């Protein structure tokens, strides 16, 4: 890159020297026409070298700028022009071109000190360098600026690379949130267990068998919860690892998954007097996929419908049908439903419409639907939800018949 710039510089210098030589040497018999020919050829070479340089710099995925010592932009590659919405950049001061001063600051620091600067800038969506609205929450950029060495030492050129690291930033953020939420969720049952342990040991309650048994029962409930959270987190991590062997793909009858989960949830269904319906036009329908995860998907969805509606009159429908190259699976209930404001967040890890931290009532881990979503996506499918509280809450899955 720098080499290219030097090539252009060298060609220009060479042209100047040659023309000067021809003019100065009185003995030289070459005609004006010959000199013009030289000039033309050198200009062509110069243009070609410049075009090649531009082509090379335009091929870079990152935005690349050259800025002179007066902080004016002297060159911008295609990625930079696109980043700034194809506004006029050449010969404009950096402060004017970079609508957000936080982006310009890193670069101006490099210009002022001559020291290389690498700076990560995270901006809310409305202040991307273009100054327009992005659909994402934040944009993250790495500004990398350094002066190019200049033998004459008079006017320095600074090269600036702007790299969009929004995707990496978002992944990092999701990880951080996951660890923070997981720690929070594990801390609550651990604190409860520790509290009971203290009572048993320090206050000598072990001597009172009835009380001790009651305490131990509560402790077991909370340690079960910890196990479930850890188990769920491991499932998510396995699904997210993208390992080829995370799924065991084989043909299986979806009907057998339904049968399994209805057996596992039998006592809950009976206690709640829930009415269960299975809609499957082709009971012999065969799916390709990991039967273990599909059973878990169905189990989580049906368990949610039951868990969220411990009232009489609950009707739950499980459906599965082929639709061309796709298979559609749904679980619908007529229960309390999900408020529309919560619907966009429902598949987020640890999200619960209402958080229940009371000792008496331990609800789910808030990880069930994120496992459901990830398991379906690992099979190349997707899931959506619609909810009219009290009328119908429906989770609809679409998945390709054949795994790619």
Residue 346 is a binding residue for ligand ADP (CB under 6 A) = yes
Task: Determine the 3-state secondary structure of 285 from DSSP.
Answer: coil
Of 235, 366, 378, 397, the residue at the interface with ligand ADP (CB under 6 A) is 366
Of 189, 319, 364, 381, the residue at the interface with ligand ADP (CB under 6 A) is 364
Residue 363 is a binding residue for ligand ADP (CB under 6 A) = yes
Determine contact, residues 187/163, Cβ cutoff 8 Å. Answer: no
Beta strands in 148-274 (DSSP E): 158-164, 250-253
Measured distance CA(300)–CA(362) in Å, rounded = 16
Residue 393 is a binding residue for ligand ADP (CB under 6 A) = yes
Residue 368 is a binding residue for ligand ADP (CB under 6 A) = yes
From residue 154, alpha-carbon distances to 113, 358, 404 in Å are 15, 71, 61
How many residues in the shown chain lie near ligand ADP by CB under 6 A?
Answer: 21
In the sheet with 382-388, reading across from the earlier edge strand, the strands are 275-279, 315-323, 326-333, 392-400, 382-388
Of 75, 320, 333, 379, the residue at the interface with ligand ADP (CB under 6 A) is 333
Of 304, 318, 378, 399, the residue at the interface with ligand ADP (CB under 6 A) is 304
Of 338, 376, 378, 383, the residue at the interface with ligand ADP (CB under 6 A) is 338
Stretch that binds ligand ADP, among 33-41, 138-146, 156-164, 362-370 (CB under 6 A): 362-370
In the sheet with 117-124, reading across from the earlier edge strand, the strands are 73-76, 63-67, 158-164, 138-147, 117-124
The nearer residue to ligand ADP, 144 or 333, going by C-beta atoms, is 333
DSSP 8-state assignment for residue 149 = P
Helices (H), 25-86: 32-58, 78-83
The nearer residue to ligand ADP, 263 or 361, going by C-beta atoms, is 361
Residue 308 is a binding residue for ligand ADP (CB under 6 A) = yes
DSSP 8-state assignment for residue 125 = G
Residue 396 is a binding residue for ligand ADP (CB under 6 A) = no
Binding site for ligand ADP (CB under 6 A): 300, 304-305, 308, 333, 335-338, 346, 351-353, 363-369, 393
């Amino acid at each position: 890159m720098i080499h290219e710039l030097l090539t252009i510089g060298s060609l220009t210098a060479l042209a100047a020297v040659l023309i000067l030589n021809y003019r100065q040497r009185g003995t030289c018999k070459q005609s004006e026409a010959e000199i013009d020919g030289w000039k033309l050829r050198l200009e062509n070479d110069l243009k070609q070298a410049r075009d090649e340089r531009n082509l090379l710099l335009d091929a870079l995925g990152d935005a690349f700028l050259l800025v002179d010592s007066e902080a004016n932009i002297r060159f911008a590659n295609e990625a930079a022009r696109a980043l700034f919405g194809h506004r006029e950049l050449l010969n404009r001061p950096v402060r004017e071109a970079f609508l957000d001063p936080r982006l310009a600051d890193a670069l101006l620091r490099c210009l002022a000190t001559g020291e290389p600067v690498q700076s990560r800038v995270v901006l809310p969506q409305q202040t991307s360098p273009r100054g327009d609205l992005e659909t994402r929450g934040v944009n993250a950029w790495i500004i990398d600026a350094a002066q190019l060495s200049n033998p004459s030492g008079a006017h320095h050129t600074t090269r600036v690379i702007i790299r969009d690291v929004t995707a990496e930033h978002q992944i990092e953020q999701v990880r951080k949130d996951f660890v923070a939420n997981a720690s929070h969720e594990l801390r609550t049952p651990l604190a409860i267990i520790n509290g009971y342990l203290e009572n048993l040991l320090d206050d000598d309650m072990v001597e009172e068998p009835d009380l001790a048994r009651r305490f131990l029962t509560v402790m077991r409930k909370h340690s079960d919860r910890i196990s479930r959270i850890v188990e769920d987190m491991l499932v998510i991590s396995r699904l997210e690892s993208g390992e080829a062997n995370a799924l065991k793909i084989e043909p299986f009858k979806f009907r057998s998954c339904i049968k399994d989960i209805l057996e596992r949830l039998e006592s809950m269904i009976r206690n709640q007097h829930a009415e269960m319906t299975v809609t499957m036009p082709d009971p012999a329908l065969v799916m390709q996929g990991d039967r273990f995860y599909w059973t878990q998907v169905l189990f989580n969805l049906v368990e949610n419908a039951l868990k969220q509606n411990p009232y009489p009159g609950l009707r739950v429908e499980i459906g599965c049908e082929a639709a061309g190259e796709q298979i559609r699976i749904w679980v619908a209930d007529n229960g309390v439903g999900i408020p529309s404001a919560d619907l966009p967040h429902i598949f987020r890890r640890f999200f619960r419409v209402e958080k229940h931290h009371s000792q008496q009532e331990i609800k789910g881990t808030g990880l069930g639907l994120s496992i459901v979503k990830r398991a379906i996506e690992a099979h190349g499918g997707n899931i959506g939800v619609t909810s009219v509280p009290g009328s119908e809450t429906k989770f609809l899955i679409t998945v390709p018949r054949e795994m790619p």
